[in-house]
A and B are shown apart, each in its own frame.
Chain A
Amino acid sequence: MDIRDEFQVVENLMLSSSDVLCALDASGHLRRVSAAGQRVLGYAPDELNGVPFSTILHPADCAQALAACAAARRQAAPVYFEGRYLTKAGQAAGLAWSAFRWPAIELLLCVGRTTGARPATLPVDASASNALLERIADGYIEVDKNWTITYFNVQAERVLQIDRQQCVGRNYWEAFPNAVNSRFYYYLHLAVDSGQPVHFEVLSTRTSRWLEVRALPVADGLSIFLSNITDRVTAAKHLEQLALVAQGTDNGVLITDAQGRIEWVNDGFTKHTGYTLADMLGRLPGTVLEGPDTDPEARATILAYQQQPEPFSVTILHYTKAGEKLWILLHVTPIYNQAGELTQFIYIQQNINTQKAMEAQQARLTQDLYEHNRDLQQFTYMLSHNLRAPLANALGLTRLLPQVGKHSAVFDTSLSHLRQSLEQVDSVLHDLNLVLSIRDQQHQQVPETVRLAKVCAQAMQHWAPALAQCEGHVTLDVAADLLVRGTRAYVYSIFDNLLSNALKYRVPERPLQIDIRCVEGAHGGASIYFAGLGSGFDQAKAGLKVFQLYQRFHGGQQGRGLGLFLVKTHVEAMGGTIEVNSQVGVGTRFLIHLNQH
């Protein structure tokens, strides 16, 4: 190698080496720092040119380092020392240094390695430049113009898994016949023919290793730097393959690092959730995708499974960017590198909204069937008692009538009773029709915005004469702006029936007192309190029958047992709930919740 080539080699090393490699001039100033060194130290390219070596050394280690450099200048053998480097940001880390004198170009080269990595054993007779070439982390090969291998360092032996004694002095393409006409062959020839450096990645078929290669043309041949990048390429290939599969599927795929931070998402993910890679990059999937109704147990399950090395699947509720619910069957696969370290998680999201919707529909169908069944039972009861009772009376009366004198009092009374009985039959048929029509309309009603205060006032107006007659007093506390989502006619019917009941079941001995209070509910919507001081009923005895059709809990009065059935039916048709609390002799209180407008 002539001097120009030696400069070239140093130059190549500065570009290719993965070490912190510094070239110092005679005055101890930095002439060049390797690209890797600049990155580690946090400086821009060329920013370090011309500054004293001490700039990048920890102040406490400076004296020792400079003494070692001075010693290296005086002798042929390398000098080893330990010293912490100092980054531009002021961070320090220990390095094991070796300093070599490179006589031909009057530079001192200092190679810094992370503490712990032992220096490679050096050939005893190595020249200074060779000593350096032996110490760099990369494989290094030199060939002359005839492709005869003139130099082969110890790292190249490792990377290519071959004894250099079999190579040095041989034609490169004879030593590595597999490489003939390969990518490797093409690029090296390109470098020689063009006189330009080349940089490429290649799969060595002989060793099954991926190599990163930099080749620089020099005066008498080619300098070739090699490093084994199999791990990186394999990981990248794996991801690429996965990404390819992921892009092809409709599933959402996201890849996180070992800490769970998102590195990549596929188009399917964006399609399902509305979030792009830019939205997700660096974030934890759960913090973005989970929402108020996500089961905390599912979340805990994922965290627990992530500590395990096996893949797992979890059903979880996610939310799209637009805030819509998205049921997901999540398959999570942890990815480990060859060293057995966790490097990534791959999440595959299967959209199971359709399945969940079907489950919900099935539950709704079951509920519908249950309700139909319950209604059928009530109709049977209705037909058995409430329709048949007046019919039986009418039948009995028609048998009685021929047996009594036409001009007797019994005849007249019986005839009047007959008419009443038939009227009862008629009203039961009306009720039946009403109940059936409510059921039918229930699913067709378009919800409207109902102003409670207004509807309540209308119902009050209807009952005002009756209230005045019994000296009833109503305390009304309804916020004027309270709106609910429902059907105006139903809300009217609720107030109407409750007022009717309060009047019907009042205690004659004391004035009627009704309290109506409508307030905004704790979770939106409205809460309606309706309290009537009246006779009340025995709640323990009435149980669940309170709201059933034709159930009556008071003797003597004219109730048909329809009012509370209608109230409950209407409340539920609007998606609300109703509770009742009654005490005999005290009165009855209703609590109704209606949905938010």
Chain B
Amino acid sequence: MLTYLIDDDFISLYLAEHVLRIEDFTTDILLFSTAETALSSLVENLAEQVPRVIFLDLNMPTMDGWGFLQALEPYVAALLGRCRIYILTSSLLPSDRARAQEYPLVSGMLHKPLDAAELPAIKALLQEAF
């Protein structure tokens, strides 16, 4: 199950990757330190293989999480049902949660650190949709 991790914080990436591996969430993980590189990878492979799930950080320089979601707008139709996005943020701001609900691709909002206890439910949801 192809999974993208997008975060400019390398420790956060490292941590999330290892949690996913230890919890047997998936082994097929791609790490991106900028939203731009993740976006181009996604668009390039739009026809063949899109990630089943993306864990997206919000607070990043140049293109932040919101900018990434905005940039995905043209591909929403192509991605719906194939790819789910979970926002993974250290933010505790309620306004971020409200804003996240405006994007149809966003399935949920997770607070850092990624909690192993939440993963089985996410996995079940992803498999169900297959």
Interface, chain A (partner B; CB < 8 A)? 380, 384-385, 388-393, 395-397, 399-400, 403-404, 410, 413-414, 417, 420-421, 538, 552-556, 559
Contacts and interface: CB of A to CB of B under 8 A. Distances in A.
Contacts of A393: 9, 11-12, 15, 112-113
Counting from the closest, the 7 A-B pairs by CB-CB distance are A396-B113, A392-B112, A552-B61, A389-B90, A388-B90, A396-B15, A417-B11
A454 B43 CA distance: 54
Contact of B22 (A403, A420, A556): A403
- Please report whether the interface of chain B is mostly helix, strand, loop or mixed according to DSSP: loop
A399 B19 CA distance: 9
B75 interface: no
B112 A396 contact: yes
A556 B116 CA distance: 28
Given A389-B12, A389-B90, A555-B8, A396 B19 contact: yes
A230 to B, nearest CB: 81
24 contacts: A380-B93, A384-B93, A388-B90, A389-B9, A389-B12, A392-B112, A392-B113, A393-B9, A393-B112, A395-B113, A396-B12, A397-B15, A399-B113, A413-B14, A414-B14, A417-B15, A420-B11, A555-B34, A555-B36, A555-B61, A555-B62, A556-B33, A556-B34, A559-B61
A490 B14 CA distance: 39
A554 B112 CA distance: 23
B41 interface: no
B14 A553 contact: no
Q: Which of B19, B22, B112 has the largest count of A CB atoms less than 10 A from its CB?
A: B112
Nearest to A380: B93
A345 to B, nearest CB: 61
A410 to B, nearest CB: 6
Contacts, number: 76
A417 B14 contact: yes
- Please report whether the interface of chain A is mostly helix, strand, loop or mixed according to DSSP: helix
A363 to B, nearest CB: 30
Nearest to A389: B90
B62 A400 contact: no
Contacts of B36: 555
B114 interface: yes
Given A392-B111, A392-B113, A400-B19, 10 more contacts: A384-B92, A385-B59, A388-B90, A391-B90, A392-B12, A393-B11, A393-B112, A414-B14, A538-B62, A555-B34
A556 B9 CA distance: 9
Nearest to B36: A555
Nearest to B18: A400
Interface of B: 8-9, 11-12, 14-16, 18-19, 22, 33-34, 36, 59-62, 90-93, 111-114, 116
A388 B22 CA distance: 24
A390 B59 CA distance: 13
Q: Which of B8, B11, B60, B93 has the largest count of A CB atoms less than 10 A from its CB?
A: B11
Q: Which of A388, A392, A403, A417 has the largest count of B CB atoms less than 10 A from its CB?
A: A392
A583 to B, nearest CB: 15
A395 B9 CA distance: 15
A439 B62 CA distance: 29
A553 B9 contact: no
A389 B112 contact: yes
Contacts of B18: 400, 404, 410, 414
Contact of A554 (B22, B59, B61, B92): B61
Contact of B92 (A388, A400, A553): A388
Contacts of A397: 11, 15, 113
Nearest to B57: A389
A463 B109 CA distance: 43
A413 B11 CA distance: 10
Contacts of A388: 90-92, 112
Contact of B11 (A385, A399, A421, A553): A421
A553 B61 contact: yes
A385 B61 CA distance: 13
Contact of B59 (A389, A391, A396): A389
Contact of A555 (B11, B60, B93, B111): B60
Contact of B15 (A384, A400, A538, A553): A400
A58 B29 CA distance: 119
Q: Which of A404, A420, A538, A555 has the largest count of B CB atoms less than 10 A from its CB?
A: A555
B7 to A, nearest CB: 10
A66 to B, nearest CB: 107
Given A389-B112, A393-B113, A403-B22, A384 B60 contact: no
